Chain A
Amino acid sequence: MTYHQATYDEPLLSEIHSDNRYKVPEADENIINLIPEELRTDNVNLPVIAEYDVVRHFTRLSQMNYGVDLGIYPLGSCTMKFNPKFADRIASMENFSETHPLVGDDSIQGSLRVMYELQVYLSELSDMDAVTLQPLAGAHGEYTGILIIRKYHESKGELEKRREIIIPDSAHGTNPASAAMAGFDVVEIPSSPDGTVDLDALKAALSDRTAAFMITNPNTLGLFEKRITEIAEIVHKSGALLYYDGANFNAIMGITSPGLMGFDVVHFNLHKTFATPHGGGGPGSGPVGVKKFLKEFLPIPVVEKSPDGKYFLNFDLRNTIGKVSPYYGAFSTILRAWAYITYHGSDGLTENTVRAVLNTNYLVSRLGNDFKIPFGKLKKHELVLTTENTGKRALDLAKYLIDLGIHAPTVYFPLNVHEDMMIEPTETVSKRDLDQFADALISASRQDEESLKHLPVNLSVGRIDEVKAARQLKLHW
């Protein structure tokens, strides 16, 4: 029982021609004369299609797309877990979805309560003291976090000299990109032979020029940094701050926390850890939590509760970095994450973590005989294996999997393992599906190399010419 993609040879929307009869209120045509003639147009360049054809077109396209509702989606660091339907239902309640952002605090006490509670829950889960829900994605959270760190050093008069942010070579690509975007120089340090942070390299890189050290724990190899408190200590001793990339938070939620480990700033990915749907690439949401001494730098507004129980938007933060997005964040995503936490509760959230880690380690034991899995057996939320010992390319094995209708893991990331696959099963997958996945991957490694090159053949298209796509740019129909 695996995914069978539909093949429609679906035309482009612009290639469909039918009558558009969609009704909108009739308007007074003469109104157009109010517009200066040189600005007016009579020619709106859009395709003319019937509503039923638009619906059929996108329904057919949807059947040519894999989603987590169809099965295992083991992309590493993406935490593709089941997205509960109750959250969609709650997000579509009109009193939530039809609310204007400028309507005033008195009229949105319900929405503010949800935001306030989520701030409290995220603070508790991470052992941070204050949270902003404004950032719109993981990378956006990182950017926000780095702006906070920047402002902190600025407030201490040290920004001129603290120009560097240290990042391990196994970090997500967004880490160096976010740091550079906020005007810092990125210093990359190699991992130690056991795959974790090389303390000597870190010590050598740290100086009074360091603004922050950005890491995720567990790291992208699925390894827990056991010496994290020591790392925190030496980072803080140099006057730098410690940033937690929350992409891998699903590995530890309820077991330990960034706050306990000594981190100062953390971002969360609501579309990963908190099961909000990823929508084919977004919307996401990337709240940021900070320790008390950084609260004054958070973007405005934050949601607070007055002693009389009224919720309000507080725009009055002494040293705020300003704003990173138009209003208060991705509210309907925030609402879904709140629903997820409220449903699972303290008991369920921790159990989900345990199940996610158990599933990963089960895959380690299933795959360990056929593939080299570097850096020890015990993993957290994800594992990284290399296909090198099988003589096959990771990309080819991925295509074998998708040809069978099983979504492939992330390939060629992290960058410090060659021909690698990064596999994150999450907690919402049965033993049966884990076995099916492992069997398929093992079977892939035993195929004839030449035959793998021709895959996929059972999907709507075969292997795509990516070089042509980049060289002969065609970005418009």
Chain B
Amino acid sequence: MEIEDSPLLKEIGFHSTDELFQDVPQKIRKKELKIPRGISEFELTHLSQEIASMNRSFRHNFLGNGIYDRIIPSSVDSIIGRSEFLTSYTPYQAEMSQGMLQSLFEFQSIISDLTGMDITNSSMYDGFTALGEAARMAYRINEGSEILVPETMYRSKLNVLHSYMTGLNVRLVPYGISPADGTIDLESLEGKINDNTSAIIAEQPSSLGNIDRNVAKISEIKKKALLITYYDPIALGVLKPPGETGSDINVMEGQQLGLHRNLGGPLLGILSFRNEFARKSPGRIIGESNDTQGKRAFVMTLQTREQHIRRAKAMSNICTNQALFAVAATSYLGIIGPSGLKKIALKTMENSQKLINSVSRSKMLKRELNGVPFSDVILKYSGKGDLQHKLAESGIAGGIELEKLIENPHRQLKGSVFLSVTEKTGTESLEALSKAIEVIQ
């Protein structure tokens, strides 16, 4: 039916839809919309397939550095594909949204258990922005004017952190990372800690890919500063959780917990902290309460910290978060279970060792960094030209240059590349990689 014939129009006493817009002055009316006319679903799907085929798919994947190709149980996609979850809004009407509220409460709980932290909120946009919010939160807590960051932090992460520091009287001060084994240089760090230090940011594994034993030692030297850790959640299958090694705030990127890579978005930010910081924390939090009959029920709580109530004095402006992916992560952890997560972490490490072995015969790629890598293996590359480009010709994705990720890498590491593995990295991929390297000059 043509819209001009709509019975609604007659009901409101209008003769034409133009009357609906009589309050929009003619001089600002849009004369023309230069967008193609609509097409059918069939045509759209066909067009989309054609465009998708302009992307190149790789048989062998060695890209990581924050986004990983991990096992995703089919059940996870099925659960977050439930349209009652997928097409719901923020649970403002709590009684009608108990399913999502309970799921988010479970997300908070399962992450707090996994990390050993007291409280986890119901999600942030991604790891980087959650780190930015964590740093703002630390500043709200102690108003220290310096935040210490590892000198090897990826440029993109540092840039996001910088953006989040806008308007605060805070300086980001780099501390040393040992170029010998990629761990925190505790002496350098200790030298930078003073009365003005608001927080110390530490990554586990480090940006250079190695498991860092020194993260656990920061709490001994941090004085009044808060320790903000940035953990790889999969590594928690084998590593002591941040809550047991002195973290005050812990941040993670949750993409590895059941999300597809999607060109790096949308992702899942995970923010946990100690009990006493609850009222200084950003983002939505779900609490357990009861209904008038005493029955267990869930509801958004501590909303007086948030923008819709506190406006300019809110802890953050965040409202939309990544609720659906919080459900994905909870389903993932529930399905994988404790033994599954451990196996996945071990398999990842096993594969990174295999990768080191399989490139060891190559003259062009040398493992010069000591220490134990988790997913990301840094290798010194002495060949000519862009390795990533050359590998792509053999159907292999990977070999990203260190300089693309880190602003001023250590002199010793210049010209290094990353090859990353997960539990999915198969023998055939490792073989393809070593073959490809053999022929690259």
Contact = CB atoms under 8 A, between A and B. Distances in A.
Contacts of A142: 317
Given A34-B372, A256-B28, A280-B88, A349 B33 contact: yes
Interface string A82-123: 010010111001111111111110111111011000000100
Nearest to B48: A90
Interface in B310-349: 310-314, 316-325, 327, 330-331, 333-344, 346-347, 349
Given A10-B102, A58-B103, A323-B160, A100 B95 contact: no
A68 B83 CA distance: 8
A224 B317 CA distance: 25
B55 A64 contact: no
Interface stretch (A170-178, A197-205, A383-391, A441-449): A170-178
B239 A66 contact: no
Nearest to B136: A181
A48 interface: yes
Contacts of A402: 93, 95-96
A408 to B, nearest CB: 5
Interface string A32-51: 10111011110111111101
Given A58-B103, A277-B87, A476 B308 contact: no
Contacts of B271: none
Interface in B1-53: 3, 6-9, 11-14, 17, 20-25, 27-30, 33-41, 44-45, 47-49, 51-53
A182 B167 CA distance: 5
B84 A62 contact: yes
A431 B8 CA distance: 8
B143 interface: no
Contacts of A252: 24
B71 interface: yes
Given A58-B82, A470-B301, A473-B278, A180 B314 contact: yes
A398 interface: yes
A44 B341 contact: yes
B313 A137 contact: no
Interface stretch (B116-124, B186-194, B219-227): B116-124
A260 interface: yes
A102 B400 contact: yes
B88 A68 contact: yes
B49 A460 contact: no
B252 interface: no
Contact of A469 (B288, B292, B347): B288
Interface in A105-156: 106-111, 113-114, 121, 124-125, 127, 136-140, 142-143, 147, 150
Interface in B344-375: 344, 346-347, 349-350, 353, 372
Interface string A374-404: 0000100000000000000000001100100
Q: Which of B108, B311, B324 has the most CB of A within 10 A?
A: B311
Contacts of A67: 83-88
Contacts of B307: 139, 173-174, 176-177
Contact of A107 (B25, B136, B237, B397): B397
Interface stretch (B145-153, B171-179, B260-268, B430-438): B260-268
A473 B302 contact: yes
Contacts of B343: 24-27
B166 A349 contact: no
A14 interface: yes
Interface in A50-71: 51, 54-55, 57-70
A179 interface: yes
Contact of A51 (B97, B306, B335): B335
A93 B312 contact: no
B185 interface: no
B30 A86 contact: no
B389 interface: yes
Contacts of B80: 279
B109 interface: yes
Given A12-B109, A44-B341, A93 B56 contact: no
B44 A322 contact: no
Given A49-B337, A279-B86, A147 B163 contact: yes
Contacts, number: 633
Given A67-B83, A90-B45, A35 B312 contact: no
A429 to B, nearest CB: 11
Interface in A328-378: 328-333, 339, 341-351, 354-355, 357-359, 361-362, 364-365, 378
Q: Which of A182, A280, A361 has the most CB of B within 10 A?
A: A280
Contacts of B113: 45-47, 476
Q: Which of A41, A282, A398, A469 has the most CB of B within 10 A?
A: A282
Contacts of B7: 431
Given A5-B96, A332-B265, A343 B83 contact: no
A343 B86 contact: no
Given A176-B312, A284-B320, A473-B302, A107 B28 contact: no
A99 B297 contact: no
A13 interface: yes
A326 B82 contact: no
A461 B103 contact: no
A7 B314 CA distance: 35
B109 A476 contact: yes
B441 interface: no
A28 interface: yes
Interface stretch (B61-69, B195-203, B377-385, B408-416): B61-69
Contacts of B93: 66, 398, 402, 407-408
A324 B213 contact: no
A240 interface: no
Contacts of B264: 100-102, 326-328, 331
A260 B157 CA distance: 36
A58 B394 CA distance: 42
Contacts of A325: 125-126, 128-129, 160, 265
Nearest to A466: B299
A20 interface: yes
A223 B153 CA distance: 48
Nearest to A75: B89
A415 to B, nearest CB: 9
Given A378-B22, A477-B105, A137 B318 contact: yes
Contacts of A78: 89
A358 B9 contact: yes
Q: Which of B85, B316, B337, B344 has the most CB of A within 10 A?
A: B337
Given A181-B316, A254-B30, A358 B83 contact: no
B388 interface: yes
Given A330-B266, A462-B291, A465-B292, A41 B239 contact: yes
B11 to A, nearest CB: 6
A226 interface: yes
A437 interface: no
Given A326-B265, A331-B262, A361 B20 contact: yes
A136 B265 contact: yes
Given A46-B114, A431-B8, 20 more contacts: A5-B96, A13-B109, A35-B372, A39-B239, A66-B88, A88-B86, A108-B55, A124-B34, A125-B35, A255-B29, A278-B87, A278-B90, A326-B264, A327-B156, A327-B265, A339-B48, A362-B11, A459-B98, A464-B299, A468-B289
25 contacts: A38-B216, A39-B213, A41-B236, A65-B88, A65-B100, A69-B83, A99-B263, A136-B265, A147-B163, A173-B310, A173-B314, A260-B28, A279-B80, A325-B128, A326-B267, A339-B48, A345-B36, A358-B9, A358-B12, A402-B93, A459-B95, A460-B98, A464-B298, A468-B289, A468-B290
